[in-house]
Chain A
């Protein structure tokens, strides 16, 4: 038999109207609870969570000097905080109050058996009392907060998030993989639904970023290592060698002509060619050439001596601005929050050989078509057949290319394609008035303001020919493209000629995001999109505290939604930064130093990276700021060297004991 409890405990049983009182005899429960060891006060009330109900709890704590309280009511998810706050307001440490859930766990599931429900309720109260008896008074933890932000990805999401944060007075670091910021948005010719000049809008924002005193931009860079935790991240950034000295370069372009390498230009989606040294985006402000090491012959010819190696660009440069011996850079940034704006890639058309993707030159993807529409693009803004440069008289736009195909490609809808296809077709019709734009679609998803109208104008006034059905095959016959498709509205097969085929390819997460997500400790879904904590209520928070999500890295979306999400992350981070320090729940794991053998099992098992080995004393410690109190390490520890504070094994064995001892119906 346990020794007599020296604590003064109070029990408050709530009726929850008839929710609890309907199937639990609350008077009987109070009577039984009153007899339990240590209980000096027990009462019931119709709605304990109401103001008078809470007042009863507060008054009793003061009058009877309670040092432990059990409120038997609904789930702790509902009102634990309410009652803990009430207890705290009258000087009782709020961690000495516990909720006994007699609604969801008892009255609701035993509605037809009052004696059994009542007995179970008493049992739950008893078990909770036993837990409270050994609860320790705790204080919330405070964590230091570095009010700086690292934005991973310099596309429109990263730019908008960074600008908002920088304007709010916080220092921001943008890490961009490509030589310039702007992302895929820089490739887009104009926006829907108002045909705005996107390069102008983006250009203004890029300029604002580059000129902002609070923003530091690392281009040609990637996050190498991420250490730390919310409020205190340490980001190691690796920068590719800067072979061209931007201080010396005059952007004369001699080196571009001198380079013997010729490769398809990624920015122009293969519509033009570039050397190993090239200008990434010809219309960007920064016109300093970039030398890509992996494409360069100088670095490829391992066999040759130093003298024999290609140095064409170096020799052509009159300013001596090119140094092939440049080394990669590495920098560290301390930040309190991270925005993952990693963006997307288009799923490669080569995955759709039945449409001639990657083999037929006049089958291009949607971004290539955007490049054609861009006045600063490779065709000067003219829609031309890539094969022979003629003006296409009929263009077949194929929507859902790779999307909504769970069997072979991506199961999801890429969300922006319906709208940008309508935009592209309308822009094509404006340019080639006697041309025909066919659009193969499954459904038209135009679900935002003025989107449906935008599509309707295309159909009704600009004669876009929408054909409902999936294209079966695109192939070349006698020098023309033939398209096999169906019009499911008439239920007929259709064969048609086309000069140009545009594939609205699925959006997929940026290559390498899996590795990055692992570094950042952010969970991803089956398609490698970064997962938010809760789709409705925590849409921009990742699984790791302090790491936020914006843009297409989270899911495919258009510029409008991307910007909304980016601004949401900025808002969330500003909310966090409005505090001087961060507050953490003290209900976390604790290590008994004398028992821990330093085996490291807990480090492997911790889903939050909260367990760290102190190599000096070979003891696995708990990072209090990171630990979420999930208990995984406690279950895994072979020596029982760790415990969850206020949920110790001892407490839980008592609780289990209370439940497994014989339950007698109280009548």
Chain B
């Protein structure tokens, strides 16, 4: 198999996606497959065929939780999770509207929190996520329980090595 997308994915993820021979073991074990529009095996196939646009607009790349079940079982040693990472990055880089904005909202809120404090501050992270996703009432019950148990502190604690964390961000190009 050969396609420009395939070449790019192989270089950036380091995964031999060209070896996929469609045994479907990945999809058979994927816990998230019901949420996917294309099962993992088909994602591999679409990469091989170079169906870039369709793939970057798919829900599949955002629904993957990187549990690595597929990668552990793959007979050709393809770890699909890093492949999904590359696809997600590519989606954002190309400015394509993600098929599932809430996932992006959560990820960016998480990253912003780390950037700000050097560690996660749940309260601000959740607040940011709520504003980004506009899903104010979701998970309210769980949130309340966590708050009452003191798991969502109001005051943020900063990391002692915040400067080092910022260095990482600069290195990663954020």
CA distance A487 to B46 in the complex (A): 10
B46: nearest residue on chain A (CB-CB)? A490
Name the contact of B19 in the complex, choosing from A460, A465, A466, A489 (C-beta under 8 A).
A460
Q: Which residues of B contact A436 (CB under 8 A)?
A: 2
- B21 touching A463, Cβ below 8 Å: no
Which of A459, A460, A466, A489 has the largest count of B CB atoms less than 10 A from its CB? A489
Residues of A with C-beta under 8 A to B2: 436, 463, 465
Q: Which of B16, B19, B21, B49 is the one whose CB lies under 8 Å from A490?
A: B49
The answer to whether B1 and A489 touch across the interface, beta carbons within 8 angstroms, is no
Q: At the interface, yes or no: B128 with Cβ under 8 Å from chain A?
A: no
Given known pairs A490-B49, A490-B51, the reply for A459 and B1 (CB within 8 Å) is: yes
| B residues 47-71 touching A (CB-CB < 8 Å) | 49, 51
**Contacts A436-B2, A465-B2, A490-B51; is A459 near B45 (CB within 8 Å)?**
no
Contact B45 A487 (CB under 8 A): yes
Separation of A463 and B2 alpha carbons in the complex (Å)? 6
Contact B18 A489 (CB under 8 A): no
- Residues in B whose Cβ lies below 8 Å from that of A468: 22
Interface string of B125-149 (1 = CB under 8 A from A): 0000000000000000000000000
**A463–B1 CB distance below 8 A:** yes
Inter-chain CA distance A456–B38, complex, in Å, is 25
Contact with A along B13-55 (1 / 0, CB 8 A): 0001011011000000000000000100110011001010000
A490 pairs with B1, CB closer than 8 A: no
B45 to chain A, nearest CB (A): 5
Q: Which residue of B lies closest to A468 (CB)?
A: B22
Residues of B within 8 A of A490 (CB): 38, 42, 45-46, 49, 51
The answer for the CA separation of A466 and B19 in the assembled complex, in Å, is 12
CA of A489 to CA of B46, assembled, Å: 9
CB distance from A394 to the nearest CB of B (A): 12
> Do residues B18 and A460 form an inter-chain contact, with CB atoms below 8 A?
yes
Query: Which residues of the partner chain A approach B21 to less than 8 Å between Cβ atoms?
Result: 456, 459
Q: Which residues of B lie under 8 Å from residue A464 when comparing CB positions?
A: 1
- Docked Cα-Cα span, A468 to B2, in Å, equals 16
Tell me the nearest residue of chain A to B1, going by C-beta.
Answer: A465
Bound-complex Cα distance A460 to B1 (A): 7
Question: Binary interface profile of A, 227-265, with partner B (CB < 8 Å = 1, else 0)?
Answer: 000000000000000000000000000000000000000
Identify which of residues 295-334 in chain A touch chain B, using a CB-to-CB cut-off of 8 Å: none
Q: Please classify how large the interface on chain B is, using the bins under 10, 10 to 19, 20 to 34, 35 or more.
A: 10 to 19
Residues in A neighbouring B42, C-beta threshold 8 A? 489-490
Query: Per-residue CB proximity of A568-608 to B under 8 Å, as 1/0?
Result: 00000000000000000000000000000000000000000
Please report the C-alpha to C-alpha distance between residue A446 and residue B17 in the assembled complex, in whole angstroms: 22
Interface residues of A in 444-500 (CB under 8 A from B): 456, 459-460, 463-466, 468, 487, 489-490
* Chain B residue with the shortest CB-CB distance to A463: B2
A15 to chain B, nearest CB (A): 53
Chain B residues with Cβ below 8 Å from A460 are 16, 18-19
- Quote the shortest CB–CB distance from A456 to chain B (angstroms): 8
Q: How far is the CA of A655 from the CA of B108 in the complex (A)?
A: 95
Minimal beta-carbon separation of B28 from chain A (angstroms)? 15
Please report the C-alpha to C-alpha distance between residue A335 and residue B1 in the assembled complex, in whole angstroms.
55
Complex CA–CA separation, A456 to B76 (angstroms): 11
Chain A residues with Cβ below 8 Å from B49 are 487, 490
Q: A426 CB to closest chain B CB, in angstroms?
A: 14
From A456, A463, A465, A489, give the contact of B22 (CB < 8 A): A489
Cβ of A458 to closest chain B Cβ, rounded Å: 11
Residues of A within 8 A of B41 (CB): 489
- Give the residue among A459, A464, A468 with the most B Cβ atoms within 10 A: A459
Q: Which residues of A contact B16 (CB under 8 A)?
A: 460
In the assembly, what is the distance between CA of A464 and CA of B42, in Å? 18
CB contacts (< 8 Å) of B22 on chain A: these are: 468, 489
List the B side residues contacting A466 at CB < 8 Å: 1
Chain B residues whose C-beta falls within 8 Å of the C-beta of A456 in the assembled complex: 21
User: Which residues from chain A contact B51 at a C-beta distance below 8 Å?
Assistant: 490
CA distance A490 to B18 in the complex (A): 15
Per-residue 0/1 for A429-446: is the Cβ within 8 Å of any B Cβ (1 yes, 0 no)?
A: 000000010000000000
- Give Cα distance in the complex from A468 to B41, angstroms: 14
A464, B1: Cα distance in complex, Å: 5
Min Cβ gap B113→A in Å is 38
* B21: nearest chain-A partner, CB-CB: A459
Give the one of A436, A459, A465, A490 with max B CB within 10 A.
A490
Q: How far is the CB of B140 from chain A (nearest CB, A)?
A: 40
**In chain B, what residue has the closest Cβ to A466?**
B1
CA distance A122 to B73 in the complex (A): 65
Give Cα distance in the complex from A340 to B38, angstroms: 54
Q: Which residue of B lies closest to A462 (CB)?
A: B2
User: Restricting to B83-134, which residues have a CB under 8 Å from any CB of A?
Assistant: none
Q: How far is the CA of A490 from the CA of B54 in the complex (A)?
A: 12
Nearest CB in chain A: distance from B46 CB, A: 6
Q: Which residue of A lies closest to B22 (CB)?
A: A489
In whole angstroms, how far apart are the Cα atoms of A465 and B3 in the complex?
10
Of all chain A residues, the one with the shortest Cβ separation from B76 is A460
| A464 to chain B: closest residue by CB | B1
**In the complex the two chains form, what is the Cα distance from A456 to B18 in whole Å?**
11
Chain B, Cβ-Cβ closest to A444: B21
Which B residues are CB-close (under 8 A) to A459?
1, 18, 21
CB of B9 to closest CB in A, whole Å: 15
A506 to B77 CA separation, bound complex (whole angstroms): 36
A489 to B1, CA, bound (A): 14
Which residues of A are found within 8 Å of B18, using beta-carbon distances?
459-460, 463
CA distance A459 to B48 in the complex (A): 11
Residues of chain B with a CB closer than 8 A to A463's CB: 1-2, 18
Q: What's the least CB distance linking B47 to chain A, in Å?
A: 11
Measured CA separation A436–B22 after assembly (Å): 21
A19 to B38, CA, bound (A): 59
Once bound together, how far apart are the Cα atoms of A460 and B17, in whole Å? 10
Taking CB atoms, residues of chain A closer than 8 Å to B46 are: 490
The chain A residue with its CB closest to the CB of B19 is A460
Residues of B within 8 A of A465 (CB): 1-2
Report the separation of the CA atoms of residues A490 and B22 in the bound assembly, to the nearest whole angstrom.
10
11 A-B residue pairings within 8 Å (CB atoms): A436-B2, A456-B21, A459-B1, A459-B21, A463-B2, A466-B1, A468-B22, A489-B41, A489-B42, A489-B45, A490-B51
Shortest Cβ-Cβ A-B pairs, 8 listed: A463-B2, A489-B45, A489-B22, A490-B45, A460-B19, A465-B1, A490-B42, A490-B46
Contact surface of B with A, Cβ cutoff 8 Å: 1-2, 16, 18-19, 21-22, 38, 41-42, 45-46, 49, 51
Beyond A460-B16, A464-B1, A465-B2: 12 further Cβ-contacts under 8 Å?
A456-B21, A459-B1, A459-B18, A460-B18, A463-B18, A487-B45, A489-B41, A489-B42, A489-B45, A490-B38, A490-B46, A490-B51
